[in-house]
Amino acid sequence: MSVSRSGSLRMIAAGAAVALTMAACGTGGGAGEVAQDPSAPLELWARTTPGGDGEKGMKKLAAAFQAATGQKVEVTAIFDDFETKLSQRAAQKDLPDIVMNDSSQLGTMVTQGIVREVDLAAVKGSDQLLEPALAAGQARDGKTYGLPYSAQATALLIRKDWRQKVGLPAPTNWDQLISLAKAFTTQDPDGNGKNDTYGLAVPGSTKRGYASWYFSNFLWAGGGDFIAKQSDGTFKPAMSTPESVAATKWFRDLACTAKVIQPGAATMDTPPANETFEAGRTGMYVVGPYLLPRFDGALGKDKYEVVPVPTGPKDATVLAEGGSVYLMAGSENQAGQNAFAGFAISADGQKIGMEGEKAFIVQLPVNKTVDIASVRKDPRWTVYADAYREHGRYAPSIPNWTAVRQSTADTVNALIADCGLQVEPELKKLDHKLAEALSQQGIGAS
């Protein structure tokens, strides 16, 4: 999961007040609305843990930008209550110039009126962005409000030593995935003589929508969807379509029929799920590349392998996420905003962001001229880069994606926690909730 998801609902509640506040600050982003000073320092807020590797990486990028341009950038790392603090600054008509935040927050931030439209012609190198990244920065109106600087997609991590012991190949489709998961669950792959291993790690908690986030990799590959965009730009619920029902039943059966996921999955978000893999309780995990350094240290590179997520009934679509550069409304240095965004997505900026074993802020490059293998001499990262470029799919940029993800997570979680529930009726109930959420956001199909 990307760095953060909490707080979006609080910001939606404050959206009307923020939008009114920012109307006086010039939400349209025109230079004439705010007196411009191209030498003014840029204030950058990064959604990351203060003092952590993310902050170090952001400061390294800012320092390189300052060295190249002479433009000063002041970096502030904030994680707890990020949205609340941003809302407070909006109310004071004093937003930071730049915010580095999850790409999935675009719809929410646009609705709040706190970001300005990006003039791609004014951002050097914007034509070098990969198409999925460029599309992820666009809102429903087709205008660009964010520039992704880092991407991530998912791949399948497998305990290689376990797989070799049970004598099965790395799975390339769902049937093979279940076969290997069953072998890991029943054939004592760690050789300790105990029945204490499971096939697949699943973060199935409702917290911050984790169950939905993880399930999206399987829902989309199975041909289903959370919501479906209509020709007029509106959306309708799609969780009770035959494809979505089939994908949900398949995923639910991992817990209730095959019984190959770890006990307590329905209460786990990613930290405890991560621990099951590194502690040798689960043998497979669908996850992004950010955990490779951790698992290399805990398990050793020789103990596990990275392969593409097995293809589903439809295709091999996987969840794409990442971080974006947002140019905040009301800045007195829009030229500096544009220059920093251009540097962050440039080949040089991308390579700087990828450097290091821990303090890297660019996981997968979004610049089409950057070959990840030229920076990271580790073929496992290329598996992820190929997954992103060929099969990555972002969540739709609607006003409040968090509401859709949370409602879906509640249902998916209930289904894997209670095997007595009937899948199809629960998904029909879910679609009613999704219809209400879409209508409240003004994007529901009539």
Identity of residue 245: V
Minimal CA–CA distance to 424: which of 255, 249, 256? 249
pLDDT at residue 16, rounded to an integer: 37
pLDDT value at residue 101 = 96
* Distance from C-alpha of 397 to C-alpha of 104, rounded to nearest angstrom: 7
- For residue 72, CA distances in Å to 39, 340, 413 come to 8, 10, 47
Q: Is the pLDDT of residue 12 over 80?
A: no
Q: What is the pLDDT of residue 4?
A: 36
Percentage of the chain modeled with pLDDT above 70:
93
Q: What is the mean pLDDT of residues 202-229?
A: 97
Residue 3 binned pLDDT confidence (cut-offs 50, 70, 90):
very low
Please tell me the distance from the alpha carbon of residue 55 to that of residue 77, in angstroms, as a whole number. Answer: 6
374-421 residue pLDDT tens: 999 999 999 999 999 999 999 999 999 999 999 999 999 999 999 999
pLDDT the model gives residue 378: 95
Distance between CA atoms of 28 and 233, rounded to whole angstroms?
22
pLDDT tops 50 at residue 19: no
Mean pLDDT over 76-100 rounds to 96
pLDDT tens per residue across span 159-202: 999 999 999 999 999 999 999 999 999 999 999 999 999 999 99
Residue-range domains of the chain with CATH: 8-153+321-393 (3.40.190.10), 155-319+400-440 (3.40.190.10)
> Is the per-residue pLDDT at 31 higher than 60?
no
Spatial distance between the Cα atoms of 309 and 317, rounded to a whole number of angstroms = 9
